[in-house]
Structure 1
Amino acid sequence: MKQRDIIIGLLVIIVWGLNFIAIKLGLQDVPPLLLVTLRFVFACFPAIFFLPKPPVSWPWLIALGLSINVGQFSFLFLGMKMGMPAGLASLVLQSQAFFTLFVAVTWCNEVWRWNHLLGLAVSACGMAIIGLQQGGNMTIVGFGLTLAAAACWGIGNIIMRRATLGVPPFSILSLIVWAGVVAILPLALLSWLLEGPAAWLTVFHTPTWTMFGSIIYLALFATLVGYGLWGKLLSRYPAAIVSPLALMVPLVGMSSSAIFLGESLSFAQSIGALLVMLGLVVHVLGGCWNDKKTKVETLTTKEP
């Protein structure tokens, strides 16, 4: 990977890591479902008028919007509102890698590899340790909702894979924006029904700079800039090279949350976090070792 692209990748990781601080700050003034709604309103308009619809059928586009944008972000924002620290949320959300594998195995008939099983076992131990540390700076409800967000993200990953199978190349940003538009109405209805019109009136009548800053960061930087640059990297390099960079998001999320929000992990939570990260590394990078080993075996068995 070229030095310029490494810098771009690191910039995206920083933007996405700080995203959890923006969510936490925004939730101080805006109800969670309304905050998600406003995120996509400002991210999709006017961007949708400049991005053509991706070559994905409407049923797949709707499924993608409901799973990732409605499901993932609703559960994540609710979880963080109900006691999930921003740093731990950035880590637990990465369990989407294992939910993606579960869905892929059952839906797409993919097979388990040693690194998948070992990574899952190690990360599951870490998640169990974190989950048992309820109270203090984390609630079990917030932890459960964040896991539900990761599950929705995993389902959405497989939907995206199936939706884009065999279609011509397109901009990932256009897919994000169009799937975001699909999510706006369901999110707005959920917010209106569950949070109530009074919450909407309070937000619109008493806006704050924190609210504006949070929405702008979530819509412009975390969504448009983040996914736009990520899409450029994926268009230049194989996913196996780009995807491992995402393992750095929890590191940025936890360190920045400690610096800016004063969050801290207990000793047990720190052990759990290390186990989760170790499991994710084995899960993602173990496949590369498998591929290298296969190549070596193939070369050594060739006839001279």
Structure 2
Amino acid sequence: MPLKHSLLAVLVMILWGANFVVIDAGLDDVPPLLFLALRFVLVAFPLVFLVGRPAAGWRAVVAVGVFMSLGQFSLLYIALDLGLPAGLASLLLQAQVIFTIAIAAVALHERPSRKQALGALMGTTGLATVALAHGFSSPVVPLLVVLGAALSWAIGNVVSRAAGVTSGLSLVVWSALVVPVPAAALSLLIDGPDEVGQALVNLSGIAIASTLYTAIGASLIGYGIWNSLLARHPAGSVVPFVLLVPPIGIVTAWLVQGEVPTALELAGGTVMLVGVAIATISRRAPGRRAPAVPSVPSEPAAPASSRR
């Protein structure tokens, strides 16, 4: 891949890694599910009137929206709002690679290669180490919630592959239509009309800027660049760049919020990322189709301290 394109891939990783702190700022003023609804309104409108429908059936587009966007991000935002640290969230979300391999093996009868199986085993070992380390000092519930987000993302990956959906801007925009109404309705149910109304009436400049960044910077610009790279280069050359997101997320949270992971969390995270790298990085020659691993990664969200 040319240096210019490699630098663009790194830029996307920076956008997605910095997204952690940006969303954290927005969650200070807005309930998580309402914040999610606002974000995806901006992802879908007005581009839905300008971008053609994706070359896929409605069922596939809706399923991608339900699992990759609504399911993944609603659980992720809730986990962050419950106090899951930023760096840990960005790391644990990469469990979707392990989940994708396992679900594809069952649902699509895609037998993982030995390299993928080894990577999944290492990733699972690292994941268990991180979970154990986190459980020593913090509640386990937020950790389980973010693993649910990773599982939802993995299901979306398999649905997308089974339907032959290509990950283009049109798919991002049209599948975003699935998110706002259910997210807003759940926010009304969970947070109550009074809190939702107060949040909307009293939107701060930080909340507005955070929403704009997550919708335009992380989703539209990030995905626009990412999908163009995937269209031009083998997935094995592009997808491994996503391994930069957790380190960037951890460093950003450390610099901005003073979040320092424990030694055991770092050790487990390193093992997990090595496993993910083994499972995703392909040595196949360009032009040959690599086995299914995850599809285009969704950008992770941002840290949040305990609030409600």
TM-score by length of 2: 0.88
Q: Which residue of 2 aligns with 1:161?
A: 161
Q: Residues of 2 paired with 1:112 and 1:161: CA distance?
A: 15
Distance 2:141 2:22 in 1: 21
Cα deviation per residue 1:96-143 (whole Å; 9 max; x = unaligned)? 111111111011110122222221222222211221233687431111
Judging changes above 3 Å, is the alpha-carbon distance between structure 1 residues 236 and 102 closer, same or farther for their aligned structure 2 residues? same
Is residue 2:51 matched to residue 1:51?
A: yes
One-letter code aligned to 2:18: L
- Pairing 1:175–2:171 present: yes
State the match for 2:187 in structure 1: 191
Instruction: Report what 2:224 is aligned to.
Output: 228
Partner in structure 2 of residue 300 of structure 1: none
* Inter-partner Cα distance in structure 2 for 1:255 and 1:19: 12
What percent identity do the matched residue pairs reach? 36
Partner SS state of residue 54, structure 1 = coil
Aligned twin of 2:292: none
Q: Is the 8 A contact 2:27 2:35 kept in 1?
A: yes
Task: Tell me what 2:116 maps to.
Answer: 116
Alignment-derived partner of residue 82 in structure 1: 82
- The worse-fitting range, judged by mean Cα deviation, of 6-15 and 130-139 is 130-139
Measured in 2, the distance between the counterparts of 1:198 and 1:30 equals 12
Q: Which residue type is aligned with residue 43 of structure 2?
A: A
The answer as to whether partners of 2:70 and 2:178 remain within 8 angstroms in 1 is: no
Aligned equivalents of 2:137, 2:62: Cα separation in 1: 36
SS at match of 1:106: helix
Q: Cα–Cα, structure 1 residues 171 and 60, in superposed 2: closer, same or farther, change >3 Å?
A: closer
The secondary structure found in structure 1 opposite 2:93 is helix
User: Which amino acid in 1 is paired with 2:143?
Assistant: F
- For 1:107, the equivalent position in structure 2 comes to 107
Aligned residue for 2:32? 32
The Cα of 1:241 is off from its aligned counterpart by 1.0
| Post-superposition CA distance 1:146-198 (Å, at most 9, x none) | 10000000000111112236xxxx77111001000122222122112122211
Matched, 1:279 2:279: no
Structure 1 counterpart of 2:244: 248
* Other-structure match for 1:207: 203
Q: 2 CA distance for matches of 1:163 and 1:24?
A: 34
Counterpart code for 1:87: G
Residue ranges of structure 1 left out of the alignment (5+ in a row): 296-304
Q: After TM superposition, which residue ranges in structure 1, 4 or more long, deviate above 3 angstroms?
A: 134-138
Task: Indicate conservation of the 8 Å contact 1:83/1:138, yes or no.
Answer: no
Q: TM-score, normalised by structure 1?
A: 0.90
What displacement does 1:255 show? 1.0
- Correspondence 1:237 to 2:233: yes
Against the structure 1 CA distance between its residues 225 and 127, is the aligned structure 2 distance closer, same or farther, given a 3 Å change threshold? Answer: same
| RMSD after superposition | 1.7
Counterpart mapping for 1:9-20 below 5 A: 9-20=9-20
* Matching residue of 1:270: 266
Post-superposition shift, 1:280? 1.0
Amino acid in structure 1 at the alignment position of 2:171: L
- Residue of structure 2 equivalent to 1:141: 141
Which amino acid letter does the alignment assign opposite residue 98 of structure 1? I
Letter matched to residue 38 of structure 2: L
Q: Decide whether aligned partners of structure 1 residues 111 and 135 sit closer, same or farther in structure 2, where only a CA change above 3 A counts.
A: closer
Structure (1/2) with the larger helix percentage: 1
CA offsets, 1:210-254, max 9 Å, x none? Answer: 211210111010100000111110111111111111111111111
Q: Does 1:41 align with 2:41?
A: yes
Query: Residue type matched to 1:228 in 2?
Result: G
What's 1:298 paired with?
A: none
Equivalenced residue count is: 286
CA 1:7/1:137 → structure 2, altered by over 3 Å: closer, same or farther?
farther
Change (3 A) 1:154 1:144: same
